Amino acid sequence: MKLLALESSCDELSIAILDNGKILSNIISSQIERHKEFGGVVPELAARLHLENLDWVISSALKKAKIEIDAIDAIAYTQAPGLIGSLIVGKIIAETIAMYLNKPLIPCDHIQGHIYGASIDNEFVYPVLAMVVSGGHTQIELINSVTDYQIIGQTQDDAIGECYDKVARYLGLPYPGGPEIDRLAASGNSQIYPLPIPKTTQEFDFSYSGLKTAAINLINKIKQKGEEVDINNFAASFQDVAVKTIIQKFDLAIKKYQPKTITVAGGVSANSLIRQEIQRLGNENQVPNIIIPKMEYCTDNAAMIGKLAQELINISK
């Protein structure tokens, strides 16, 4: 069963080829350099660049997998959520290939794709408790099978990646700010700038808008006093609270649901502190399987969509 998978929900166009769930290629064209000058993703530009990049992305994916397009048995693509223009371009490409080859189309959910990206190198043992941390979503999911899952906690406002990016922008750092803060935090002291963990009413919910406001207010206060913000210490202090905000809830959820596997997914799962903390929580709670995905499968990529599609095919047999 050879699958062509396509991911185009934001500013990356990616095509992967899988053979019975094994990744043969996973080509990712990132547009970060083109959006950097605007300080964030420009949706119209993202959709146009997907079309410009399609030719080399698809030919590289087939070449690396050493197969001809006629050998493809099914086409998977990201249906939602994402930027509407980017999603439409991806859908039309996938539909065109499916029509040309007369093969089935498998629409996939981007968030579930991120989660199943973690199972590419380590198969899930259910139940799985997954922490989804991306630029648009932040939630804790309990998964019993690929078609049976529930969100048990989520952000009440901003996503964690959005919070990182906005605070980074305020600090004058380039887009995307998440990796910049992570890098600067490595040589900073997290105890220098105290920031609060916002309270929420539901047991497993959390909030990032409050943290964003508190961080920006603190930067303003320091500047008003005529002092300089120590960027490394600020990055470390912010990162400490941003990660604690969700990690504390994830810890409570592990204790309540006793999962056999824990994992983390989405762009922010590339964060060094989050990766470290997931490992620590897993060890402390004696979770049998702790999956920290490869960096390549953390940010947007088509291999994760292919893996999800393969699981959907397997369960429907």
| Start-end of H helices in the chain | 32-36, 43-65, 84-101, 110-117, 160-170, 177-185, 209-224, 231-257, 272-284, 302-316
- Using CB under 6 A, pick the residue from 8, 134, 200, 207 that binds ligand KG4: 134
With binding defined as CB under 6 A, does residue 177 bind ligand KG4?
A: yes
Taking CB positions, which residue lies at the least distance from ligand KG4?
Answer: 267
Count of C-beta atoms within a 10 Å radius of residue 125: 13
- Using CB under 6 A, pick the residue from 90, 113, 117, 136 that binds ligand KG4: 136
With binding defined as CB under 6 A, does residue 178 bind ligand KG4?
A: yes
Q: Which of 223, 226, 221, 246 is nearest to 164 (CA)?
A: 246
Name the binder of 211 from ligand KG4, Zn ion, none, CB < 5-8 A by kind: none
- The tokens for 100 are 């040309």
Q: How far apart are CB 22 and ligand KG4 at their closest, in Å?
A: 23
- As a whole number of angstroms, the distance between CA 281 and CA 86 comes to 36
> Does the annotation list 182 as a binding residue?
yes
Residue 81, preceding peptide bond in cis (omega within 30° of 0): yes
With binding defined as CB under 6 A, does residue 270 bind ligand KG4?
A: yes
> Does the annotation list 264 as a binding residue?
no
Per-residue CA distances from 245 to 37, 154, 235, 251, 315 (Å): 31, 11, 15, 11, 35
Do 211 and 163 meet the contact criterion of CB atoms below 8 Å apart?
yes
> Does the annotation list 226 as a binding residue?
no
> Does the annotation list 271 as a binding residue?
yes
- Using CB under 6 A, pick the residue from 90, 198, 259, 266 that binds ligand KG4: 266
Of 19-27, 35-43, 263-271, 303-311: span binding ligand KG4 (CB under 6 A): 263-271
Name the binder of 112 from ligand KG4, Zn ion, none, CB < 5-8 A by kind: none
R_g (Cα) of the chain, nearest Å? 20
With binding defined as CB under 6 A, does residue 146 bind ligand KG4?
A: no
Q: Which residues bind ligand KG4 (CB under 6 A)?
A: 10, 134-136, 161, 164-165, 176-179, 182, 266-268, 270-271, 299-300
Question: Which residues define the annotated binding site for substrate?
Answer: 132-136, 165, 178, 182, 271
